[in-house]
Amino acid sequence: MNYSYKLAALLSGVLTTAVLVAAPVEETLTVDEVDMISRAASAEGHPLPEVISGWHYRTDSTRALQTDSFENGGMLGVELGEEIWNTVEGTEGKSCASCHDDAAVSMASVGALFPKWHEESGKPINVELQINDCRVNNMGAEAYKFDKGGQKPLTAFVKHQSHGQPVTVDLTEGDMQQWWEQGKELYYRRTGQLNLSCASCHEKNNGKYIRADHLSQGNVNGFPTYRLKQGNLISLHNRFRGCIRDTRAEYPAAFSDDLMALEVYTTWRSQGLSVETPAVRQ
């Protein structure tokens, strides 16, 4: 507990109303003795001076769960993903491993580079859709429906192979810049009866409490994340939809152009932070 934390705790006691500590915690995130980049200089043109992982905004006990893989409930999903990786499915009699062998080698750093430009569809593609592409075109298996089947564990397993690698998004490929622009427009668009945008909470008010919830910068480097509230892995598009729903708005379909653009933009905002998949959050 550093001095400012103590002071704030003292003040909140004096003020009787539950005024809570606002600043993200000053600490280093080390997972299984590997140092993570949880604070990074922001990309050129980024509206925030520093990119900070959501880990810093969580409580002591939630933060501790992520520092040890045995304590991280999301690792069960990663292990399930590994089983799926090695399981034959579809008409071609193949598993992921049939072509990609050891994921620790073939998938090292791969998850840190998504979403990326996908020439065939003329759109950005994320890990979930890349898995579906492989299942349909190479395995002769059915595409996973959103959040169903092995989509979340297999995505978590693939991204976990980049654990610690900095998130990087290449906007020079194809029309990525255009999708970034569209995502940015969505980030600042106010929706719903509550008339809020992503920026209302995660840019203007990050570091403050909204009731008991400490608002983070909304970085995406930990997805799929293990959320204690659900006791399960939660995908990025699920989280997008939940946030938009909370503004009392209709929300876009998972993997729709709108949410793919938002994924491109928010991944850009999170650049430089280590992939934390599966991060532990409240």
CA 61 to CA 55: how far, in whole Å? 11
Which is closer to other proteins, CB of 10 or CB of 194? 194
Is residue 17 near other proteins by the rule CB under 8 A? yes
Could you say which residues in the range 203-262 bind other proteins, by CB under 8 A?
204-205, 208-212, 215, 245, 247-251
Q: How far is the CB of 184 from other proteins (least distance, A)?
A: 16
**Site for other proteins (CB under 8 A): how many residues?**
32
| Angstrom distance (rounded) from CA 49 to CA 44 | 10
Q: Which of 11, 18, 99, 136 binds other proteins (CB under 8 A)?
A: 18
- Selected binder of other proteins within 1, 14, 16, 44 (CB under 8 A): 16
One of 71, 189, 230, 253 touching other proteins (CB under 8 A)? 189
**Residues tagged active-site:** 243
Asked if residue 13 binds other proteins (CB under 8 A), the reply is no
Determine, following the binding rule CB under 8 A, whether residue 48 of this chain makes contact with other proteins. no
Nearer to other proteins, 68 or 185 (CB): 185
Residue for token digits 């564990």? 153
Can residue 193 be called a binding residue for other proteins (CB under 8 A)?
Answer: yes
H-helix or E-strand spanning residue 236? helix 236-246
Q: Are strands 225-227 and 280-281 parallel, antiparallel or unpaired?
A: parallel
Distance in Å, CB of 172 to other proteins, minimum: 31
Minimum distance, C-beta of residue 61 to other proteins, in the bound complex (Å): 16
User: Closest CB to other proteins among 186 and 260?
Assistant: 186
**Burial class (CB within 10 angstroms; exposed 0-12, middle 13-18, buried 19+) of 231:** exposed
Q: How many other C-beta atoms lie within 10 A of the C-beta of residue 173?
A: 13
Which of 43/196 has CB closer to other proteins? Answer: 196
Q: Is 121 in the site for other proteins (CB under 8 A)?
A: no
How far apart CA 167 and CA 28 sit, in angstroms, is 18
**DSSP sequence for 14-45:** HT-S-----SPP----EETTEEP--EEEPPTT
- 212, 229 Cβ separation under 8 angstroms: no
DSSP string, 170-228: -TTSTTHHHHHHHHHHHHH--BTTTTB-HHHHHTTSTTSEETTEE------TTPSEEET
Q: Which residues bind other proteins (CB under 8 A)?
A: 15-20, 22, 189-197, 200-201, 204-205, 208-212, 215, 245, 247-251
